[in-house]
Amino acid sequence: MSFIEIMAGAVLIVSCIMLVVIITVQQPKGSGISGAIMGGETQVQTGRRGKSNDARLSKFTRIFAIVFFVVTLVVDIIILATK
């Protein structure tokens, strides 16, 4: 195993753990599948200027999901290139 494979594996494990933790912490936003099909309730925006915790968690979820998929593809390409 090369150093790049080890580092990519470590990044993959960390991003996977962070995804699980962040998704578990988030509050449910809809009413399940019926909310997805029929359209869920919309929350009224309050007058606060800062981002809410849900918005930050959603942003981090997107970031870690992108990192997870990119690193997975990179690891696959490295493995295919070394064979």
Q: Is residue 21 part of a domain?
A: yes
Q: Is residue 80 part of a domain?
A: yes
pLDDT for 79: 81
Q: Is residue 47 part of a domain?
A: no
| Number of domains composing the chain | 1
Instruction: Answer yes or no: pTM beyond 0.85.
Output: no
Q: Is residue 71 part of a domain?
A: yes
Q: Is residue 44 part of a domain?
A: no
Give the Cα separation of 34 and 38 in Å (integer). 6
Q: Are 43 and 35 in contact (CB under 8 A)?
A: no
Q: Give the pLDDT confidence of 14-73 residue by residue, as tens digits.
A: 888 988 998 888 877 666 666 556 665 555 455 555 568 888 888 988 988 898 899 889
Q: Is residue 46 part of a domain?
A: no
Q: Is residue 82 part of a domain?
A: yes
Q: Is residue 16 part of a domain?
A: yes
| Residues spanned by the domain of 66 | 1-25+54-83
